[in-house]
Structure 1
């Protein structure tokens, strides 16, 4: 990854932060993108402590102008863009009959539309230069039918299929598009589960490994997909969920 330039959305915490630090540790300069600039600056300091360049940019993935502006800004300030990691997303729980259209739209706009707009913004740069990597962070819920998560499951399943379509479209341009599908990870998004002993026990009983992942365990998969070691790998989904979706 030495000398490569990567952008990571949702990089202020959790999986996004872990991926950004893993890419930096492997030698990449990193553009950190999210809505909270103050939190991004803390991660930027961690990247710089690894000896790499870090820039931060504000992005609201539900706003196409914000996305295009942030991606172009990172491209300019890093002096290029080789890797785009689309990690921003929200979780929503609620049975289908109780899910309002406003909530459905919020989840789909953030997770699916946001991922598409980010792919499109980065793809213009990557296809023009004839090389690059796009990594979409989906979920094992995109592979499973989970009651109570209709909007979230639909959004993540769609991201997986979008990944495959873009992989075909951009292969001739030297751009590989792959996805990571994590299971339960110890981040802020799983706090409600981890802080409820009864619920946590039920969740862990459904995971063959009987534990959640540490966010740092996702980083090496992103490094693989961002590196030249995966140049003949496109349209693939790397599942890391302790065996839950088998």
Structure 2
């Protein structure tokens, strides 16, 4: 993959899990990275880690559902680094409530974080992309957008919306030199699901549903992220890459 030296990336939902791993991968490839999440502690730790390695990073605690906060995150990035080239929309929450028990507030909260947040960040950063006639938007969807999963109506609907948004924006911005693509991960072993993985019975049930008979490792998303962030994907837009060990093709 090409180096990302000179590029500037924003990663939302970067405090933990795949978001943090993706931010590390972009920084390791040479990009200066703004990390955003609701709380500052993990973001500050990431910045300290990068500075210790001689790299530049910026922590922006951000409520991704708040339009003004997202605008501030974007402008803080441009003010600090002078530009922005890559946006990774990774913020997301899960709800496992059966539909007849799910209150409208919970439904709205999932859709606000998982879909409204993608819209707000893409709009804010997209202004800069359109002006400079270049940019990479990488939306993190889910394989749940591609299959029926009981008790996940809000989550699945929100992630399916992310895929539809990806295709629409790819068409809208293609002539502006902007590529909009998505990654749809399945189960990956991260700190966010460590508690679940500590339960042998639950882990066995999850793994049994994956043809590869294991969860993904965070490092396995890195090559695809860097592909979509770099020039090798300049002729690729409106697509999604599924990384789930074959779960959606069972």
| TM-score tier (shorter) | over 0.9
Shift of 1:205: 0.4
Corresponding residue for residue 207 of structure 1: 210
The number of residue pairs the alignment matches comes to 246
Shift of 1:90: 0.3
Q: What's the C-alpha RMSD, in Å, of the aligned pairs? A: 1.2
Q: Tell me the alpha carbon deviations over residues 67-112 of structure 1, each in whole angstroms, 9 at most, x when there is no partner.
A: 1111111121111100011101101102111111111001001101
Corresponding residue for residue 41 of structure 2: 38
**SS of equivalent to 1:19:** helix
Q: Indicate yes or no: 2:86 matched with 1:83.
A: yes
Residue from 157, 163, 168 that aligns with 1:165: 168
**SS of equivalent to 2:34:** strand
Residue from 49, 52, 56 that aligns with 2:55: 52
| Counterparts of residues 158-197 of structure 1 (less than 5 Å) | 158-197=161-200
| Counterparts of residues 77-116 of structure 1 (less than 5 Å) | 77-116=80-119
CA distance in 2, matches of 1:197, 1:70: 40
Q: Tell me the alpha carbon deviations over residues 13-61 of structure 1, each in whole angstroms, 9 at most, x when there is no partner.
A: 1111111111111111111111221210111122234432111112101
**SS of equivalent to 1:127:** helix
Residue from 4, 7, 10 that aligns with 2:7: 4
When normalised by structure 2's length, the TM-score is 0.95
Corresponding residue for residue 69 of structure 1: 72
Shift of 1:193: 2.9
Q: Which runs of 5+ in 1 are unaligned?
A: none
Q: Which runs of 5+ in 2 are unaligned?
A: none
Assess if the C-alpha contact under 8 Å between 2:16 and 2:192 holds in 1.
no
Assess if the C-alpha contact under 8 Å between 1:21 and 1:46 holds in 2.
no
When normalised by structure 1's length, the TM-score is 0.97
Assess if the C-alpha contact under 8 Å between 1:184 and 1:190 holds in 2.
no
